[in-house]
Amino acid sequence: MGKGLFISKTVGVVCVVLAAGAVATIIALSVVYSQEKSKNADVEPTSGGTSTAQPTAQPTEPPSNEPWDKYRLPDSLEPEFYTLTLWPRLQKNTDGLYVFTGKSTVRFRCKKETNLILIHSNKLELSLLDNQLARLSAVSDPSPPRIQKSWLQQETQYLVLQLTDVLKADQIYELYTEFQGELADDLGGFYRSVYTEDGVEKVIATTQMQPTDARKAFPCFDEPAMKAIFNITLIHDQNTVALSNSNVLDEFNTTEEGIDVTKTTFHPTERMSTYLLAFIVCEFDFENRMEGDVMIRIFARKKAIEAGQAEYALNKTGPILKFFEEYYNSSYPLEKSDQIALPDFNAGAMENWGLITYRETALLYDPAVSSNGNKERIATIIAHELAHMWFGNLVTLKWWNDLWLNEGFASYVEYLGADYAEPTWNVKDLIVLGDMHRVFAIDALASSHPLSSKEEDIQKPAEIAELFDAISYSKGACVLRMLSNFLTEPIFLKGLQSYLNAFAFGNTVYTDLWDHLQAAVDSSGMALPNNKKVHDIMNPWILQMGFPVVTIDTSSGTLTQKHFLLDPESTPSDFIWDVPIQWMKTGDEKPYTWLHQKEELNDQMRITAEEWLVANVNVTGYYRVNYDDKNWDNLLNQLNQISRKLPFFQTFYVIVFNHNFSNSRANIVPTTRALQTTSYLSKERNYMAWESALDNLDYFYLMFDRSEIYGLLQAYTRRQVTPLFNYFKTITDTWTKDPDGHTEQYNEVNALRMACSSGLTECNELVQNWYKEWMTSPDSNPIRPNLRSTVYCSAIAAGGEEEWNFGWQRLKEAAIAIEADKLRAALACTTKPWLLNRYLEFTLNATQIRKQDATSTIVYIANNVVGQPLAWDFVRTNWQYIFQEYGGGSFSFANLINGVTKRFSTPFDLKQLEQFKEENANIGFGSGTLAVEQSIERTKANIAWVNKNREVVKSWLESELSY
């Protein structure tokens, strides 16, 4: 899946949210499972034949040892082929429900004799066939057994069939089912999405199978290693288009049950996993183009196609596909590549093979409305999904415990694909901000977890869903980037290509990739340090949680490492890593140095009084660096001569900043030293430097924005940012045109956002006037697209009901989701508690806020210092309701919990949080379980930090401001 909901950072008092660009995002996870009952799909167990006993809904406890109480399929059966017909009804039935009906035949091979068939089926109502829930027939066995007893096992989501006799090894059988399910608005399985066009409500039937919801669309062996070929037919209204993974084979008009319909049959798919299937029926239009032999189509609402919103995606898909064909040295495995923008979609995008689904904001672009960040997001997410067409789809991990390799890989190479499509943007550098620094914040907690999980620990759907987190995506990406870097790209690619070639259409475990990389290393003649293998070097990064902080003492030349933990009180582990260190002394690049032990000596790393040394130069290593005082002083001295003397890349700044701040939070360097690194900012114009500094200052705001220190922080920020504000005012001819360059454009937004939020009068007057101008003529928005998020937010924060209502009206009428999203974030910026409370209520009403947007809206509100306690009360009060109603696919509980608790820094906050955990233990936290623990740990660390630093920060700011 693509990176999901956008939960952005907050900066300063105004909770600015840039739903824009990977830079401002955290990965969010999406599919969340609750065991709630669907409205109409609970099927009572049926007995047949000679049996009368009916195992009804099984109590969860105590666990039994029956095969149907285990979450994993037995290894006795293996599917080969499905023939599936589905008919979604886009009108309500007489019970007021949207439903679909279907028929499916699965042909399977028996590998081990068994008298039991287990096949996944969830929330489907199965028809009785000869008094059983399925019909069994033999393809090769001359005397097949009959079904003796059949029932649905709700907890483990199986259709269970007990047979009169055994299925014989190496024989082939077929199982036929007929069923009905609800086409609910729950964003999982086969579901419905709704939009309005020309005043008419339109319903779409669409799918999201990953990870475990194919079983909600039809009975299937729903595990990634159970690959099969699918013959799919969709029955649909004659005015609609039907899409699936492969091309249309045949299409004709007919009648079914007296209704005029079209029957569309698709070519057999390639051999593939169930979680990559997709079926869509809609009234969309498309734009298309050939790239070599591959047909590329972008589907969207008719109005969006008419307005040209698909053009950017169409322009970029071909080149990105071509890039990956070369990168993987493997031609695109399918005949067509469809991509479709859906009004209701839970994650960011989903890599269904040949039919990729997206949120509208992740695919549709309009230069008159979209910012450069929106554009970057589209390019990277397309690259992410197309990367999966090989890595993930052609070659698939055997089980979900290795999800990190699939998602980490795509999250790494998305930058490479986007860089190819937009070579002037330098997006490759942005992984440091977009992934590494974000995940450092989580991976620095003692309640983090290793990349790799044990297969036996990942069983239930909720356990699988919990893996779609920042660790899998962002840490996975960083660790693979580090690996590609120290192996060098040619060797990495050689191993990767041979891995894909060896396992095409099959399944793997992560060590298979290591084996192929090792073979590439061996054949290249390259030697890894200490004669280690890829496997040995990577294991500590994969199997241990966290990351090291490397300390370089430039007077003794000693290198040391220890596990970096944000909370200085937490018990240190004795983890060590093999750390590849790229470093540079006073501008000279040095060869890789490796740190294998806790402590090593490297004489070359000593410096003279004037020299300076910097390690992890391009930030390709997944670790932090700290230095001795002398070197820090020399480095800070270099900073003050910025952009004249320092010859090297932007990311250098990032290291200095970020490492100083986080090191100070973890008590490794004094807070004042961290603060000192911001004092030169008034001279800084570089985006990476500013972004990094603001990211870190944000922590100070979160901790102090309800205290006396807030005023000082504001005055200091205002002083530092004013020159940047003036700089952009000049180069944009008084805010009338975009600056040149992708990151310059981002930095213009930073300047405006921080100047306004820190209370620079000129800035606030400027943006409020723009907004007023817009209010007087709603049809001509005078605000440049790049600036809209921040301008809307500042203006709504400064305004009252009228400004808010105007924004809400524009949101409802927005012709493109990207514009609606900007407004949705900005509406959370108001400082009026009653407006915020009303807005919170909207989040639980799908006619006001789409379910896909509910969590992120609550988190936007919590980002606002006024909204934070309201959002927390709201979540606490409504937890049970939220969990039940929004459990099935629409809520990202981890983001929600992290979002509403991130300001927590008092013993009282901690008590409330612990109480929340206790009171809701019986309801549960689903995929947010770990996030509750992480929030508690973070709160404790914050309490300690604030106690220790309140006075220090206050007096530092006072003395700094008194000059």
Ligand X SMILES: *[C@@H]1O[C@H](CO)[C@@H](O)[C@H](O)[C@H]1NC(C)=O
**Is the Cβ of residue 46 or residue 638 nearer to ligand X in the bound state?**
638
CB of 81 to ligand X, least distance (A): 5
Q: What is the per-residue binding string for Zn ion in 368-407, x denoting contact by CB under 5 A?
A: ---------------------------------------x
What does the CA dihedral 766, 771, 776, 780 come to, rounded to 10 degrees? 100
End-to-end CA distance of the chain: 52
Q: Which does 773 bind (CB under 5 to 8 A by kind): ligand X, Zn ion, none?
A: none
Cross-strand bridge partners of residue 108: 79, 173
CB of 468 to Zn ion, least distance (A): 9
CB of 360 to Zn ion, least distance (A): 18
The C-alpha atoms of residue 75 and residue 78 are separated, in whole angstroms, by 8
**Is the Cβ of residue 151 or residue 652 nearer to ligand X in the bound state?**
652
Choice among 223, 385, 422, 803 that is catalytic: 385
CB of 803 to ligand X, least distance (A): 31
Q: DSSP characters for 618-636?
A: TS-SSSEEEE-HHHHHHHH
**Is the Cβ of residue 155 or residue 311 nearer to ligand X in the bound state?**
311
Helix axes 854-863, 867-885, angle to 10 degrees: 160
Task: State yes or no: residue 5 binds Zn ion (CB under 5 A).
Answer: no
**Is the Cβ of residue 241 or residue 709 nearer to ligand X in the bound state?**
241
**Is the Cβ of residue 278 or residue 941 nearer to Zn ion in the bound state?**
278
Q: Which does 346 bind (CB under 5 to 8 A by kind): ligand X, Zn ion, none?
A: none
Q: How far is CA 219 from the centre of its chain?
A: 28
CB of 230 to ligand X, least distance (A): 9
Q: Which does 315 bind (CB under 5 to 8 A by kind): Zn ion, ligand X, none?
A: ligand X
**Is the Cβ of residue 365 or residue 916 nearer to ligand X in the bound state?**
365
What does the CA dihedral 684, 685, 689, 692 come to, rounded to 10 degrees? 100
The C-alpha atoms of residue 191 and residue 99 are separated, in whole angstroms, by 9
For residue 692, how many C-alpha atoms fall within 13 Å in the half-sphere facing its CB? 32
Query: 3-class SS at 147?
Result: strand
Tokens 């290393």 belong to residue:
521
789, 18 Cβ separation under 8 angstroms: yes
Among 925, 866, 937, 865, smallest CA distance to 897 is for: 925
CB of 864 to ligand X, least distance (A): 34
The C-alpha atoms of residue 856 and residue 858 are separated, in whole angstroms, by 5
Neighbours of 735 (CB within 10 A): 15
Residue 659 assigned to a binding site: no
**Is the Cβ of residue 1 or residue 811 nearer to Zn ion in the bound state?**
1
Q: Is the dihedral of CA 846, 851, 855, 861 positive or negative?
A: negative
Residue 384 assigned to a binding site: yes
**Which of these ranges, 1-9, 128-136, 283-291, 460-468, lies near Zn ion under the rule CB under 5 A?**
1-9
Q: Which does 262 bind (CB under 5 to 8 A by kind): Zn ion, ligand X, none?
A: ligand X
Q: Which does 410 bind (CB under 5 to 8 A by kind): Zn ion, ligand X, none?
A: Zn ion
Name the E strands within 267-371: 279-282, 285-291, 294-300, 336-342, 349-350, 355-359
Q: For this structure, is 385 an active site residue? A: yes
Q: Is the peptide bond before 62 cis (omega within 30 degrees of 0)?
A: yes
Q: Which of residues 242-301 bind Zn ion (CB under 5 A)?
A: none
Size of interface with Zn ion, in residues (CB under 5 A): 3
Q: DSSP characters for 731-794?
A: HTTTTTSPPSSHHHHHHHHHHHHHHHHTT-HHHHHHHHHHHHHHHH-TTS--S-GGGHHHHHHH
The C-alpha atoms of residue 715 and residue 582 are separated, in whole angstroms, by 39
**Is the Cβ of residue 69 or residue 78 nearer to ligand X in the bound state?**
78
Strand-pair category, 77-88 with 229-236:
parallel
**Is the Cβ of residue 250 or residue 629 nearer to ligand X in the bound state?**
250
Among 248, 251, 214, smallest CA distance to 231 is for: 248
Q: Which of residues 190-209 bind Zn ion (CB under 5 A)?
A: none
The C-alpha atoms of residue 455 and residue 275 are separated, in whole angstroms, by 18
**Is the Cβ of residue 315 or residue 686 nearer to ligand X in the bound state?**
315
The C-alpha atoms of residue 67 and residue 75 are separated, in whole angstroms, by 11
Main-chain dihedrals φ then ψ at residue 777, nearest 5 degrees: -135, 85
Neighbours of 239 (CB within 10 A): 8
Cα 117–222–462 angle (5° rounding)? 115
The C-alpha atoms of residue 512 and residue 499 are separated, in whole angstroms, by 7
**Is the Cβ of residue 81 or residue 575 nearer to ligand X in the bound state?**
81
Binding site for ligand X (CB under 6 A): 81, 83, 231, 238, 249, 251-253, 262, 268, 311-312, 315, 365, 582, 589, 617-618, 649
CB of 326 to ligand X, least distance (A): 20
113, 167 Cβ separation under 8 angstroms: yes
Cα 703–707–712 angle (5° rounding)? 90
Task: State yes or no: residue 410 binds Zn ion (CB under 5 A).
Answer: yes
The C-alpha atoms of residue 741 and residue 134 are separated, in whole angstroms, by 61
- Closest residue by beta carbon to Zn ion: 410
Residue 182 assigned to a binding site: no
Q: How far is CA 888 from the centre of its chain?
A: 17
The C-alpha atoms of residue 235 and residue 85 are separated, in whole angstroms, by 7
Among 815, 751, 812, 745, smallest CA distance to 785 is for: 745
Which parts are annotated binding residues? 384, 388, 407
- Binding residue positions for Zn(2+): 384, 388, 407
Q: Enumerate the active-site residues.
A: 385
In the complex, which residues of this chain contact Zn ion (CB under 5 A)?
1, 407, 410
